[in-house]
Structure 1
């Protein structure tokens, strides 16, 4: 009897422990409408950057690979050229962070390569190195670029494509989803389009 009760209790505790682990794992995954998971990464200049340090500001996250044609277009002549300096997007309350989640040795990875790309494109925001892929998987980043917007309260309010025109090609009018999300936040409105399908090169985990 004692053995049976002990076994039942042990199984119940184990089940609870597994559930707790599963819940913690689920909570650490980025979900639109929920608090954005915190992270700390190092930029190409060796400086540590922590997402939660920007609480009170809107944060734009851009998954980045300087050798991806979609990233090259977006920064060279497309919508990410000077994006962080545009009205609304370039005010003191909006922070931009690029993240490269490519594994060591994969195409587009390497501190010097990313540092050079940042200089070539005159990016005025950090490029963070996530070569373990931990942060990319936490946010389920699938493409470069893959865009995220975190509001001043730390809530993830947008995830998806940069715009509706891959490589500048679109049917009908072009919608810049990131700019639209920033405009909604600046006006005190809920983000009208909170999630879209991203496009670009696959993240090289």
Structure 2
């Protein structure tokens, strides 16, 4: 069953974090990885069909916008004890296979996902140069089996507005995907 992202207050300041990048093995903090132009924080995972559906386009869009000064950070917060395919080794394998041009961070404690109020994968948070939230929602309207082309339209519109110095439209469609797999107490 699909999960929808929560509605968040635009303008909220991003909270710093430091997580291990499964690609390089280095600790990556938001402060170090953020861009003075725009920063995209995205919650993804390996096994979600919604993520798998957009992944090639996401990698392409990240490359395009990184060339324009936008920073991209991917975070996986799923409980790997219940979903081993979302564990660190598999994350590294997927990142290499898809040639991720961005860090793929593992939120093992799930604290970053809780702080950001992330609910699903994929879910996108776009911050301006001052790390204020200006977009929170979907990649585009394409879903597995809905026959809508994967374009990244919603994310691209937000980034284009930021890069042009225009406000990002306040009407934003929530992200829809698999729920984050929370650790059971």
TM-score range, shorter chain: 0.7 to 0.9
Residue 73 (structure 1) aligns with: 53
1:105 aligns with 2:81: yes
Q: Name stretches of at least 5 consecutive residues in structure 1 with no aligned partner.
A: 1-29
Residue 83 (structure 1) aligns with: 61
Relative contact order, CA 8 A, sep 6+: which one is greater?
Answer: 2
Structure with a larger share of its residues in strand: 2
Measured in 1, the distance between the counterparts of 2:67 and 2:145 equals 26
TM-score (norm 2): 0.84
- Counterpart selection for 2:115 from 132, 138, 162: 138
RMSD: 2.2
- Counterpart selection for 2:14 from 9, 18, 36: 36
Residue 5 (structure 2) aligns with: none
Measured after TM superposition, the shift of residue 55 of structure 1 is 5.1
- Counterpart selection for 1:189 from 155, 166, 171: 166
Structure with a larger share of its residues in helix: 1
1:177–1:193: 8 Å Cα contact kept in structure 2?
Answer: no
Cα distance change of structure 1 residues 146 and 122 upon mapping to structure 2, 3 Å threshold: same
Residue 50 (structure 1) aligns with: 29
1:159–1:194: 8 Å Cα contact kept in structure 2?
Answer: no
Aligned residues: 172
1:101–1:129: 8 Å Cα contact kept in structure 2?
Answer: yes
